[in-house]
Amino acid sequence: SQKIEQNSEALNIQEGKTATLTCNYTNYSPAYLQWYRQDPGRGPVFLLLIRENEKEKRKERLKVTFDTTLKQSLFHITASQPADSATYLCALEHGNNRLAFGKGNQVVVIP
Amino acid sequence: KAGVTQTPRYLIKTRGQQVTLSCSPISGHRSVSWYQQTPGQGLQFLFEYFSETQRNKGNFPGRFSGRQFSNSRSEMNVSTLELGDSALYLCASSPGQGTNTEAFFGQGTRLTVV
């Protein structure tokens, strides 16, 4: 069956450190993968998109890698700040304009 | 540019009733997708509309339906509500011209079925 797995345990991290989140998937062949941020009671906000032929993408303090052999994406937040505390969702392309989401991984940055 | 607007923000309904939720996409966006988000299942795809046509449908019962109007605004309807339909319903819009575009989400409608 198709699965998208993100760590269900919250990641508690000290301010200034790098947070690394993992997204593993099974039985998908996504042409691209996206990462979103969601704050409580709000809709997800797009952060980054990485295509299957790209190994790495960066945007400011964010970095995403995509390994189609391992069927895994890693999401890094460098120099983390308390304002980065949120739930981060990975989403796979799953057909024409359709996304399949993981359940998300909560990040808590401790000042 | 105004974002995606969903109305109402909160709804309380009784089992067996029906409900209609509304979504106004970003101006110029022709694709509207709907998702259901619950703590147990996460975000699950309901359906996607493009230029008034349903292009994709998720694995939800026929009680869940939707439509899109000529101005790209979309509605979703849930009939014969069940307690398990309590969730955050999210709408996302995108230009719809290609598949590798970001989705812009609204704030959602929190539906509680009692």
Quote the radius of gyration of chain A (alpha carbons, Å): 13
Calpha distance B107→B33 (Å, rounded): 14
pLDDT of residue B2: 79
Considering only CB atoms, B100 lies closest to which of A32, A42, A44, namely: A32
- Averaged pLDDT for residues B19-34: 95
Q: Cα–Cα distances in Å, from A67 out to A25, A32, B37, B99? A: 11, 11, 27, 20
Q: Nearest C-alpha of chain B: how many angstroms from A14?
A: 26
Residue from B1, B40, B22 nearest B90 by CA: B22
Q: State residue A96's pLDDT score.
A: 67
Cβ neighbours, 10 Å, residue A75: 24
Would you give the distance in Å from CA A66 to the centre of its chain? 10
Question: Do residues A57 and B15 touch, judged by C-beta distance below 8 A?
Answer: no
pLDDT value at residue A93? 86
In angstroms, rounded to a whole number, what is the distance separating the alpha carbons of residues A83 and B69? Answer: 38
Inter-chain residue contact B105 with A34, CB threshold 8 Å: no
Nearest to A95 by CA among B36, B58, B29, B92: B58
Q: Judge whether B103 is closer than 8 Å to chain A, CB to CB.
A: yes
Band (B97; pLDDT cuts 50, 70, 90): low
pLDDT score at B92: 95
Q: Which of B102, B114, B83 is nearest to B26 (CA)?
A: B102
Is the pLDDT higher at B25 or at B96? Answer: B25
* Integer-rounded Cα radius of gyration of chain B: 13
Interface of B with A in 4-63 (CB under 8 A): 4, 31, 33, 35, 41-45, 48, 50, 55-56
Is residue A83 a contact partner of residue A70, using CB atoms and an 8 Å limit? no
Which tokens in the block code for residue A81? 């700040």
